[in-house]
Amino acid sequence: MKPTDEQVKEFWTLLADEIEDFESGHRHYRFNGAWCEEAWGIPIIDLNNLFKYAVPKLYKDKEWLYSIKFTYNYPNGGVTCEITTEKYLYMGQGKDPALALFWAIHEVIKND
């Protein structure tokens, strides 16, 4: 399932170290000491941004992160992502690895 724009905005807002709002209405996000490379607005949901900005926050702010595992669901398609921490197992599913990872991280945030 694809997240709504509101879910994506909430996701990045909860993970950001700092958010700078401009008079123009644009918002700039800072993660792990560096400003997001997206010129303006919310980072897109792709594996690059998730591993660059979101996964390090799990390691830094949450329980110890042990593993991230992807399982491709054949023949029906889709991907399942499992995030294993020191205490819990979080799962997310999507049509591709980025969406599965997004939903697994979303579960970590939601249950924190």
Asked whether the predicted pLDDT for residue 24 surpasses 70, the reply is no
Return the bridge partners of 69, or none.
82
Asked whether the predicted pLDDT for residue 40 surpasses 70, the reply is no
Note the residue count of the chain: 112
The number of folded domains in the chain is 1
Q: What is the percent of the chain with per-residue pLDDT over 70, rounded to a whole number?
A: 87
Closest by CA position to 42, among listed 56, 63, 21, 57? 21
Q: What is the pLDDT of residues 62-103, one digit of tens each?
A: 567 789 999 998 888 899 999 998 888 999 999 999 999 999
pTM of the model: 0.84
101 lies in which domain range? 5-110
CATH number of the domain encompassing residue 84:
3.30.2120
